[in-house]
Amino acid sequence: MTKTKKYLLSFLILLIPFSLMADEGAPKTSGLSFWQLLLTPKYIAVFIVAVIGIILLFFNQFNTRNRTIFLLVSFLLFGVVTIFIHTLFLSPSPVCSTTKPFIYGPKPPFFATILVIGVLSIIATKGFCGNACPVGALQELLYNIPILKKLKRNRIPFKISNTIRIIIAIIFIIIAFAFGTSIYYYINLFDLIHWEFDMPALELAEFIVFTLLMLFLSMIFFRPFCYLICPMGLFTWILEQFSIMKVRVKKDSCDMCGACEIASPCPAIKDIINNKKIKADCHLCGICLSSCSKNSLYFGVK
Ligand code: SF4
Ligand code: SF4
C-alpha cells in the first residue's frame, strides 16, 4: 500500500466519529456535545501527556529512570488523582469507548475518546496507549519491577496473543448484538481504577480474581491486558500500521545481531527489524533504542 493510500485510509477511519457526530440529534449523555467534550480538561490532559511522551522518545530520552517517572505520573494523573479530580477520570474508559456503542448506540463521549486516541495513534504508534493510559502504565510499571527475571524471558507469540484478542472481540460483538450485554464487563482491568468496590459478592470475587491474575501476569509478560484482551489495543494496533512516527531501523548500519530483540520486552521489535508489513504493537517504551550499540534504531518519521 502506498503512503498516500495509507494516509487516506487513516483519514477515512478517523472520519467515522466526525460524520456520526454531525447528526444534530445525537444523544448527549454528559450534557456536552462532541466538540465541547474535546475541550474538557480530560481530553486536553491526555493529549498533552501523550505528546510529551512522543517528544521524549523522539529525542531518545526514555532511559529506565525517565520512563518510570513518566509512567508513574501518567498512572497517578489518570488512575489515582481522578478520585479527587473527577474531570480527569478516563470515563468512558477506553474499553467502554470501543464496546458500549455496540450495546447502547453511539454517544458523544465514546466518539470523542475514540477520536483523540485515534489521532494520537496516527501521529505515533500507540501514542495514547504507550503514554497516557493508566492501565497500560500500571502494567508496564509492574513489568519493570526487577523480580521473576527468568520468567520474563518468555514471550507470548504475537500471533497467539493477537488471535486471542480478536476472538474475544468477535465473541463480544456476537453477544452484544444477540443479548445486549458485554463480555468485557468481566474482563476489564479499567474497573480497578474506578476505585469502587461496592458490588455483589460474586461480582466482587470475579473482579478480584481477574485483577490479581492480570497484575501478576504483568510482572512476567509485557502488558498482557493490552496484547491479549483490550479492544482499544486492537483498535490502536490497526491504526498503528498507518502511524506517521514509529520505531524504525537503519538498514545500512543494522547487522541483525539480535541485541535489541533480547533486550526488548515486546514482540514488535522482531517485526521492525525484519521489516514486516504488519507489525505487532509497539508501546513506545524506548528500550530497543538504547539497546542498539550501533544506533541503528530510531523513533521518527521515515
Ligand atoms: S491497549 Fe487498552 S489497556 Fe493497553 S494501553 Fe491501550 S487502552 Fe490502555
Ligand atoms: S522495545 Fe518494543 S515496545 Fe519498546 S519502543 Fe522498542 S519496539 Fe516499541
291 lies in a domain?
no
Residue 36: phi, psi to the nearest 5? -65, -40
Ligand 2 atom at shortest distance from the alpha carbon of 283: 3
pTM for this predicted structure = 0.89
Q: Quick one: cell of 240?
A: 498503528
pLDDT computed for residue 24 by the predictor = 42
Instruction: Check if 109 has its Cβ closer than 6 Å to any atom of ligand 1.
Output: no
In a domain, 10, yes or no: yes
What pLDDT, on the 0 to 100 scale, is given for residue 30? 60
**Residue of 46, 70, 75, 225 to mutate, ligand 1, most atoms within 8 A of C-beta:** 225
- For the ranges 1-10, 75-84, 106-115, 168-177, the lowest mean pLDDT is seen at 1-10
Q: Is residue 294 part of a domain?
A: no
pLDDT at 101: 85
Query: 146 CA distance to ligand 2 centroid (A)?
Result: 18
Any domain includes 118: yes
- Is 151 part of any domain? yes
The verdict on residue 239 lying in a domain is: yes
In a domain, 296, yes or no: no
Averaged pLDDT score across all residues of the chain: 89
CB 195, CB 78: distance < 8 Å:
no
CA of 297 to the centre of ligand 1 (A): 25
Residue 60 lies in a domain: yes
The pLDDT value recorded for residue 92 is 73
Domain count, the chain: 1
Beta-bridge partner residues of 248: 298
Is a pLDDT exceeding 90 seen at residue 91? no
Instruction: Give the confidence band of 22 by pLDDT, cuts at 50, 70, 90.
Output: very low
197 grid coordinates: 468496590
Q: Which atom of ligand 1 is nearest to the CA of 94?
A: 7
Mutating to test ligand 2, I would choose from 266, 271, 273, 299 the residue with most ligand atoms within 8 A of its C-beta, which is: 266
Q: How many Å lie between the centroid of ligand 1 and the Cα of residue 257?
A: 31
Range of the domain at 60: 3-243
pLDDT category at 219 given cuts 50, 70, 90 is: very high
13 pLDDT band, cuts 50/70/90, is low
Identify the band that residue 25 occupies on the pLDDT scale cut at 50, 70 and 90: very low
| d(CA 93, ligand 1 centre) in Å | 10
How far apart, in whole angstroms, are the C-alpha atoms of residue 221 and residue 151?
Answer: 8
